[in-house]
Amino acid sequence: MENPNKNSESGPSGDKFVKNIRFNLESGTLLLDLDKNKTDPEKVRGFAEERGLLEKDEAHVTVIGSDTAEQIMARLGDLPRGEKEEILAKIRAVVESIDWQFVFKPEYYYIKKEYDDPDPTDSSKIIHEVRESVIQLAETGNLAEFYAKLKEVTGLELEVPMPHVTLFTTSTREDKRKRGIGIYSERDFDELKPERIEI
């Protein structure tokens, strides 16, 4: 879902450099693709490369992550198809009504998380994965505004995510080396025991 009106530069309140809005009607997830040139990976490149992390090809902020999307889709799951589509259309309209703006903060963190997922080729087996990322924090007033409107549409009290962009990442699984670590709230972030990178 392209949003060409979100590309112009803004004043000190934030930058309007959302290049594309990706709202998945099937899963309920919402990602905002940003201008990667607005991030500053050079300040932490040495730290990341020493640990074998790879630079991400793109930059995005996750507005509705998979955990939150699952709650929304579960709420809509028993509704008639037409009613479900109507609510999803309302969510999409809210997404498009927001004047999305972000300010990247000079704060970088190294985070690490372990996963145990079923083997896609044999569900009786579990694959252990260790994923690492370097992220840069961002500020915006738009997420609180969006989640207040989302509550009106869905009736759900959802945690507001912590805005950030993943700059570098790696994994012990080859197929997940460019996959970031989901952070849905400040509580999730704190539970990861983030290590601040001094620059």
> What tens digit of pLDDT does each residue of 19-74 get?
889 999 889 999 999 888 888 899 999 999 999 999 999 999 999 998 899 999 99
* pLDDT at residue 15 in the model: 63
Closest alpha carbon to 154 in 63, 80, 73, 100? 73
Each residue of 128-157: pLDDT tens digit? 999 999 999 998 889 999 999 999 999 999
**With contact defined as beta carbons under 8 Å apart, do 144 and 24 qualify?**
no
Give 9 or 80, the one with higher predicted confidence. Answer: 80
Model pTM score: 0.84
Name the strand (E) or helix (H) holding 23.
Answer: strand 18-23
Q: What is the DSSP letter of 173?
A: S
**With contact defined as beta carbons under 8 Å apart, do 171 and 132 qualify?**
yes
Tell me how far apart the alpha carbons of residues 155 and 194 are, in angstroms, rounded to a whole number: 32
